[in-house]
Structure 1
Amino acid sequence: MEVLHYPETAFEKLPVTIVAEAREGAIGIAHEIAELIRSKQRKGKLAVLGLATGSSPIGVYQELIRLHREEGLSFQNVVTFNLDEYYPMQPDELQSYVYFMHEQLFDHVDIRPENVHIPDGTLPIEQIKEYCRNYEKQIDECGGLDLQLLGIGRTGHIGFNEPGSSSSSPTRLVKLDPLTITDAAKDFIKEEYVPLRALTMGVGTILKARRIILMAWGEGKAKILRETVEGRVSDEVPATFLQLHPRVQVVVDQWAALELTRIKTPWLVGMCTWDDSLIRRAVLWLSLKTQKPILKLTDEDYKDGGLSDLLVQAGNAYNLNLRIFNLIQRTITGWPGGKPNSNDTQRPERALPAHKRVLIFSPHPDDDVISMGGTLLRLVDQGHDVHVAYQTSGNIAVFDDDARRFADFALGFAEKSGVGVADMRREHAEVVEFLHHKKLGEEDSALVQNIKTLIRRGEAAAACRYCGVQEANVHFMNMPFYETGQVKKKPLGEADIEETIAILQEIKPHQIFAAGDLRDPHGTHRVCLDAIFAALARLKGREEWVDDCYMWLYRGAWQEWDVEDIEMAVPISPEELMRKRKAIFKHQSQKDSAVFPGNDKREFWQRSEDRNHATAKLYDRLGLVEYEAIEAFVRYRF
């Protein structure tokens, strides 16, 4: 496990190990668990493990399976107790933690079935209290938990111990926090299908474990991790109770660590090595903290902000302010494809060639217009040869009712035209029958998947037409990793990379735009980006155009780049923002209410506009020109 070394800090009340990628952290944790199992085996004892569910431990379980298959790690002496289970919940339901644990671990190793313990979500309510007491008794009879594995929820819950849980709470039935229910909706399709209660080990039960490992991967966990590690112990954030335990280790990737003081504002921790990136971040932080434009910052502001050391290096506030102001000002351009016949020395993009081949990768069929619709319109308006490649079908994000509606339309059209009526009636009946009996979370039939794919493909094509993209320049990749018919996807495969290579070779772009969600270890955007990286790595050195290609990363619908990272800021006028909105509206299946809205209740166009307005406002607060809206990009140098 490669550990990233940062200055130690008194702000952190728990030991934190920061790794570059979630996979590295998961492997390191798995090896510690394996060593515990082997150590107990040598002594003829049981290894008693407390296990977690969710996306965080999946990498750990994958490595444990590999160790079992390739290195002979046996689970014959392992006893497990899972943290929690939804209530009520049948064990064969796709959303149950029984199903999860068997799919992710137990079915692939030699653990004894009688040694597996997962809270029972099928019990009558009157039996719950006694069952919970027995669950704790079973743990005690096994000698207690040797190691407890934990993830963390955005409410700060560990297990399902939501805010308000006490440090001595036992295993029990609890109500789920609304935020937890929202986060669980992706597994249940709709929030109304998520159980309102769950069985969980208590905080007190967890704290009895002899060793505890807390995992956190991705930027989405950064804020709650900071509260857990640096905040005061409080039942408002139950994970802070881990500060009371003598043997806790927190393992996080670099993205989950972003809000820690030693990462976000290292000058508050101690002496810094001031490179250009850190200087820029510090000055922008000070400007926003003092609510003063960059050019109005004084020597006194720097001293009061803990940045005296930076002044020693820079000389004085005036020169430093001017330097950073100019850097930020140069990120702003109304010519995202480069401005012809201009000096491009300090512009984000090259002037030549004046008319570029532009390839916009869109992970889902609407990410292009949601995330960079204004820039897309600008590129088309300025005469560039714009191509859009939709990397996945997006078919799981279509409501069943929409699939039925389009099936009805297809049947009506066939009957009206008199073409293929018999076949269409048969397929329509098949769709109606399947949807009528479809279970929650069940994989769609091939026919229903095809209908949903066509719905999203038609919407994407309509949006491109509206933006002026030529029909021949609209590409539908349907990367195989996505085509499971379920929320869970396959790992990135060779076929995905080869398909990406093929489209790159076909277009040979001067510019690539891609969804740059490097900070999310689990999402579709990250898999799609990894496919692009892998394809470019193979093409570099083989194809001359790669060396002359710029790659710009945009963010998804959920968040924007940090201002200190932005390398190209494209202003969007009020008229262009309205055109962007209308392009988003072409995606009618995602309008009003999306299948997977996430934790944000706003519609996609509202999120997009609010984000673009906020970025423009941020530039305004820093003392730059005031714009209606801004779309932001970071250049990836491959």
Structure 2
Amino acid sequence: MSTLLEKTAKDISYKPVGQFEETRFEKIHNVIFEDSNEGSIQVAREISDLIRKKQALGENCVLGLATGSSPIKVYEELVRMHREEGLSFSNVITFNLDEYLPMDKSNMQSYYYFMHEHLFNHIDIPAESINIPDGSLPQEEVVDFCLAYEKKIKDNGGLDFQLLGIGRTGHIGFNEPGSHFNSGTRVITLDHITRVDAAPAFLGIDNVPRKAITMGIATVRNAKRIVLLGWGDNKAKIIKQTIEGKISSQVPATYLQEHDNVTFVLDKGAGGELTRNKTPWLVGPCEWTDSLTAKAIVWLCGKTEKSILSLTDKDYNDNGMSDLLSLEDSYDLNIKMFNKLQHTITGWPGGKPNADDTSRPERAEPAKKRIIIFSPHPDDDVISMGGTFDRLIEQGHDVHVAYQTSGNIAVSDTEALKFAEISNTITPSTESQSIIDTLLNKDENSFDVAEVRSLKGAIRRAESYAATRYLGLEDSHVHFLNLPFYETGTIKKNNLSNADIDIMADLINDIKPHQIYAAGDLADPHGTHKVCLDALFETLKRLKPEPFMKDCWLWLYRGAWHEWDINEIEMAVPMSPDQVLKKRYAIFCHQSQKDGAMFQGDDSREFWMRAEERNRNTAAKYKALGLADYAAMEAFVRYKLD
């Protein structure tokens, strides 16, 4: 069976998305899959093939393993193969990349705990074959441990296969910017961005250790085979820099360009910035679909700093688009693109009654639509589409909002303690005092008990009511789904189950909406948006036979991290300066998420600041392309339901 190792297209037995041969821009072999699940399964298959090959030869298989969110699905598939296909790990020896320092093995944030939770507890690997850096060592013993770790890898014949993820700083393992290509296993001080990315798992950056033990660059590069996993839009820029940029200690992953047996396995989001995907006309001849043409024209406007209608034949020819120009002259291309974008702009997101809707993004009829806005957390609705939310209510539609999760883990202990003390002051009770005592004596690495989670959920529920009431929505139209997958009390969530889908289906079936709005922003730092969107897709698949589904349209918004590219937008809802302020005040109702929310990702600004900037930028881009000038715009893409 062919594996990822083969680099010749005709030899590859699986089907990644689109073109996968390296271009002149690319210095590392890479393949792009539709999603991370598909890519993870193929990587797990390569690992299992290697294990079985070594077993047949009577040899040990030495694996270098990574932690973090990227390899989780790989480990799940390996566990499935062990249970269902008889894959044995009896000949496997593992060496993990890294561990926080200091970090006790029993701590749920330790990589020791992670590896046992996701892999080792579920397979037949001998305990003595598991090697993970020891974060509990006293400082004076760490150097000797690191030297011994290196020696043990060499004594076992070196790493046959090294699995990697990549951080936004370009780190592999915990080899932060500045790491030397000859570095071995050692102690390193973590970059601030790395600690920010780890903050959700530790319930705040203050709890993230500042140091770690990591295998070195040389240790990784000595592996016979390396596979790096990259998932999601938020990894796209560093993936491009690593694959197409110069080798630099400031992006340690670029050292992999010098390895002769490495593959980057990516999903469409992570590979989105590669030249062959972002600007394929710079690589070679293209099949000029409508979507690619729109993407190219918007890019060309940015490159030339011209509006759409100002583009000339020379602009197209000088920027790699002569083959597009051979199909249609610039005047016609410009007019078509201008009209396409013009028709996305509407002040009537629910459709304009008694109007010709031929060129409008939404249907005119029915004039009053039933609408559900799904919000993964109890503030994504107003952060991402607060202006549109307000407009839909003002225009008389039957609007409902459904908060898919309680959002309780995003409430700080300090905020919860404040409410518990207020409650106990007004009506003293043993329950309130118990919560107060629990919070005051809580260990920094422990997770909330059920009573504290309930209080934190109640705080977010009250804030949601404050925001929806401010926008004029009746309380009866506000739904708190509390999907079970989320209610674990930890950052790690359960897989979606029928119970989650049942809750979603009951609500949709009850309301029978003409419009559904949902979060299509998959870059949130703890993954809840993706799970909530998957839940919606599964629910709509189940409900497809229902008659009302024929008239149901799904619009996707994006959240506080990214916006749709201009060429992707299918509905742009302008906001006046007054509406921008109204949206801001609705966001302010979510007081527990102001002044230092726990899960901010790589942006330290408050969510209302990010939202306003994003909406202003969208409007500015429309203006720069030669369209109308608005204060701000919210953007949506229609997801076509099969």
TM-score, normalisation: structure 1:
0.97
**1:241 aligns to 2:267 (yes or no):** no
**1:553 aligns to 2:556 (yes or no):** yes
Cα contact 1:184–1:194 (8 A) shared by 2:
yes
Structure 1 stretches of at least 4 aligned residues deviating more than 3 Å after TM superposition:
518-522
Tell me the secondary structure at the aligned position of residue 313 of structure 1: coil
Cα contact 2:525–2:601 (8 A) shared by 1:
no
Per-residue deviation, residues 30-61 of structure 1 (Å, max 9, x unmatched): 11111111111111111000000000000110
Tell me the secondary structure at the aligned position of residue 30 of structure 1: helix
**Which one of 517, 523, 537 corresponds to residue 521 of structure 2?**
517
**1:318 aligns to 2:331 (yes or no):** yes
Percent identity of equivalent pairs: 58
544 and 519 in structure 1: CA distance in 2 versus 1, 3 angstrom threshold = farther
Matched with 2:464 is 460
Matched with 1:184 is 198
518 and 592 in structure 1: CA distance in 2 versus 1, 3 angstrom threshold = closer
Cα contact 2:196–2:205 (8 A) shared by 1:
yes
Which residue identity does 1:532 align to in structure 2?
L
Matched with 2:419 is 406
Report the CA distance between 1:128 and its aligned residue.
1.9
Within 1, Cα distance between the matches of 2:255 and 2:627? 44
Matched with 1:443 is 447
Within 2, Cα distance between the matches of 1:247 and 1:521? 31
**1:508 aligns to 2:522 (yes or no):** no
Matched with 1:421 is none
Per-residue deviation, residues 402-430 of structure 1 (Å, max 9, x unmatched): 22222222222225xxxxxxxxx211232
Matched with 1:331 is 344
Which residue identity does 1:109 align to in structure 2?
I
Pairing 1:118-517 to 2, within 5 Å after superposition: 118-314=132-328, 316-415=329-428, 425-517=429-521
Cα contact 1:2–1:24 (8 A) shared by 2:
no
Q: Which runs of 5+ in 2 are unaligned?
A: 1-13
Tell me the secondary structure at the aligned position of residue 326 of structure 2: helix
**Which one of 605, 608, 611 corresponds to residue 608 of structure 2?**
605
**1:96 aligns to 2:100 (yes or no):** no
**Which one of 574, 584, 588 corresponds to residue 581 of structure 1?**
584
Matched with 2:11 is none
Report the CA distance between 1:518 and its aligned residue.
5.1
Within 1, Cα distance between the matches of 2:425 and 2:525? 44
Pairing 1:106-117 to 2, within 5 Å after superposition: 106-117=120-131
**Which one of 627, 631, 634 corresponds to residue 634 of structure 2?**
631
Q: Which runs of 5+ in 1 are unaligned?
A: 416-424
Within 2, Cα distance between the matches of 1:98 and 1:565? 43
**Which one of 613, 617, 620 corresponds to residue 620 of structure 2?**
617
Cα contact 1:187–1:441 (8 A) shared by 2:
no
Within 2, Cα distance between the matches of 1:399 and 1:81? 36
Within 2, Cα distance between the matches of 1:366 and 1:553? 16
Per-residue deviation, residues 474-497 of structure 1 (Å, max 9, x unmatched): 111100000011111111110110
Report the CA distance between 1:401 and its aligned residue.
1.8
Cα contact 2:521–2:562 (8 A) shared by 1:
no
Within 2, Cα distance between the matches of 1:474 and 1:237? 47
Which residue identity does 2:487 align to in structure 1?
E
Report the CA distance between 1:434 and its aligned residue.
1.8
Report the CA distance between 1:94 and its aligned residue.
1.2
Tell me the secondary structure at the aligned position of residue 388 of structure 2: helix
Within 1, Cα distance between the matches of 2:20 and 2:510? 47
Report the CA distance between 1:436 and its aligned residue.
2.7
Which residue identity does 2:503 align to in structure 1?
E
Cα contact 2:416–2:456 (8 A) shared by 1:
yes
Cα contact 1:150–1:215 (8 A) shared by 2:
yes
Which residue identity does 2:628 align to in structure 1?
V
Moved more, 431-440 or 604-613: 431-440
Within 2, Cα distance between the matches of 1:21 and 1:545? 30
12 and 520 in structure 1: CA distance in 2 versus 1, 3 angstrom threshold = farther
Per-residue deviation, residues 177-197 of structure 1 (Å, max 9, x unmatched): 111111111111121221111
Report the CA distance between 1:438 and its aligned residue.
2.0
Within 2, Cα distance between the matches of 1:204 and 1:280? 44
Report the CA distance between 1:520 and its aligned residue.
7.1
Which residue identity does 1:41 align to in structure 2?
Q
Cα contact 2:524–2:601 (8 A) shared by 1:
no
Which residue identity does 1:387 align to in structure 2?
H
Cα contact 2:520–2:556 (8 A) shared by 1:
yes
**1:62 aligns to 2:76 (yes or no):** yes
Which residue identity does 1:347 align to in structure 2?
R
Within 2, Cα distance between the matches of 1:518 and 1:87? 31
Cα contact 1:551–1:637 (8 A) shared by 2:
yes
RMSD: 1.2
Cα contact 1:360–1:513 (8 A) shared by 2:
yes
Within 1, Cα distance between the matches of 2:526 and 2:433? 37
Matched with 1:422 is none
Tell me the secondary structure at the aligned position of residue 252 of structure 1: strand
Q: Name the count of aligned residue pairs.
A: 627
Cα contact 1:52–1:159 (8 A) shared by 2:
yes
Within 1, Cα distance between the matches of 2:102 and 2:454? 33
Report the CA distance between 1:303 and its aligned residue.
0.7
Report the CA distance between 1:7 and its aligned residue.
6.1
Cα contact 1:7–1:262 (8 A) shared by 2:
no
Which residue identity does 1:93 align to in structure 2?
N
Which residue identity does 2:347 align to in structure 1?
G
Which residue identity does 1:511 align to in structure 2?
Q
Per-residue deviation, residues 268-314 of structure 1 (Å, max 9, x unmatched): 11111111111111111100111110110110000111100000011
364 and 331 in structure 1: CA distance in 2 versus 1, 3 angstrom threshold = same
Report the CA distance between 1:11 and its aligned residue.
1.0
Per-residue deviation, residues 374-402 of structure 1 (Å, max 9, x unmatched): 00001111111111011110011111122
Within 2, Cα distance between the matches of 1:292 and 1:339? 32
Which residue identity does 2:337 align to in structure 1?
I
Report the CA distance between 1:440 and its aligned residue.
2.6
Per-residue deviation, residues 140-182 of structure 1 (Å, max 9, x unmatched): 0000000000000000000111111111111111111111111
Within 2, Cα distance between the matches of 1:200 and 1:427? 45
Moved more, 460-469 or 430-439: 430-439
**1:87 aligns to 2:91 (yes or no):** no
Report the CA distance between 1:595 and its aligned residue.
1.7
Moved more, 62-71 or 401-410: 401-410
Within 1, Cα distance between the matches of 2:54 and 2:391? 64
TM-score, normalisation: structure 2:
0.96
